Structure 1
């Protein structure tokens, strides 16, 4: 999926609101203070961010995704196992977030009923960005299962990271390794089950179903889900 860069004005507002988020959350009060700090008119700020601080919280999250991509592209991952590359990308995403209080307040914001779907979409988008940055080429049902699994891993990792006070966040590193190992074990079991001749009558129809599911096209927007379905010939 294509990712578009945010405007410099929005980036300025995101940078300006972060010190206020620690005290006022992603709120109208914090938004007003950020607008004042950058010397922007309220009308211009609302034109950029119609929902005020909510839009800046979204921009903050997407800026973290972009920073993670930059870190992955700058790193030499060629000698790493694939699971280690995924772990690296997750760690890079947490490093990009940096401001734990802003993330904590953002988690609370997107837990609100009217914003929960958008929060889930942001986590999905992060998982998609990680896989895409690592060169994932899947186009069938695996496109969805990979992102759903990684979204769950990333969401649980963020919650653990927010409460981690260990030295250099070693506990979070260990947590990531355990979660990725769990995922690899599940994939290994799936492969073993699919290879069992006695289970072919059960696994073959499901595999055929997953092969017909199609990921969104490269030109589609991030909101163009759940993708495409191809009719059997």
Structure 2
């Protein structure tokens, strides 16, 4: 029964989202878009509000998460065997942008999540995208590095999206060059940080920060929450 409800929910959400994308370019992720989508796909209003209680905001979130899933599928199929790790990260970000088949929908979403009352939602979505990338690439970190990797990639991803939105070069060639430069900047910083860690003169100064960082652990998934089965 639960699977049937979930399947109905997913199909209705996908139908609503497809209908909404026809209107986002004109009305943004707004109530006007949500109502137009309702009319176009003939979904019962009470069901639509149950699926998207916050209306178009929930549709914008669903659009972003659908892009994450497309990226993960494309990344799983890509041949990454001969790539350096930094190139695998660049490939993942590129695939995520290419998964967004409607640039105007992304532009409107960027505007929506830049609003102060939606900024936390936007930050969570970007973090979720970067977490998905690191997990797909086999990240095993469990300490402060778990956070720093995702925070750094979130900055790279965010700036690359903004550049991509304004890029009119052939095949977004300028965007991929911009992305490579941002990743090279990060790799350069990590190299300097590693050199500082090895410097014997700085070891006493780094002892306290290193100890504190070692106490930080990545979040663990709870398995004792309501609705979860044990075993």
Same fold (TM over 0.5): yes
2:118 aligns with 115
1:172 aligns with 175
Secondary structure (helix, strand or coil) at the match of 1:7 reads helix
Q: Structure 2 residue aligned with 1:82, among 62, 81, 85?
A: 85
* CA distance in 2: counterparts of 1:68 and 1:57, whole angstroms: 17
Consecutive aligned runs of 4 or more in structure 1 exceeding 4 Å deviation = none
- Contact between 2:160 and 2:178, CA under 8 Å: does it hold in 1? yes
Q: Structure 2 residue aligned with 1:104, among 101, 104, 107?
A: 107
Matches within 5 A, 1:221-232: none
* CA distance in 2: counterparts of 1:204 and 1:46, whole angstroms: 54
> Relative to total residues, which structure has the larger helix share, 1 or 2?
2
2:53 aligns with 50
Q: Higher relative contact order at CA 8 Å, sep ≥6: structure 1 or structure 2?
A: 1
Q: Structure 2 residue aligned with 1:188, among 170, 178, 191?
A: 191
* CA distance in 1: counterparts of 2:150 and 2:104, whole angstroms: 26
Structure 1: stretches of 5+ with no match in the other structure: 221-233
Secondary structure (helix, strand or coil) at the match of 1:80 reads coil
* CA distance in 1: counterparts of 2:100 and 2:160, whole angstroms: 13
1:66 aligns with 69
Q: Structure 2 residue aligned with 1:139, among 131, 134, 142?
A: 142
Does the alignment pair 1:205 with 2:208?
Answer: yes
- Contact between 2:29 and 2:109, CA under 8 Å: does it hold in 1? yes
* CA distance in 2: counterparts of 1:176 and 1:72, whole angstroms: 17
Matches within 5 A, 1:21-36: 21-36=24-39
Secondary structure (helix, strand or coil) at the match of 2:15 reads helix
Task: Please state how far the C-alpha of 1:39 moved relative to its aligned partner.
Answer: 1.2
- Deviation string, structure 1 residues 93-147 (Cα, Å, up to 9, x no partner): 0001121100010011111111011111111111111111111110000000000
Q: Please provide the CA RMSD for this pair.
A: 1.5
Secondary structure (helix, strand or coil) at the match of 2:114 reads coil
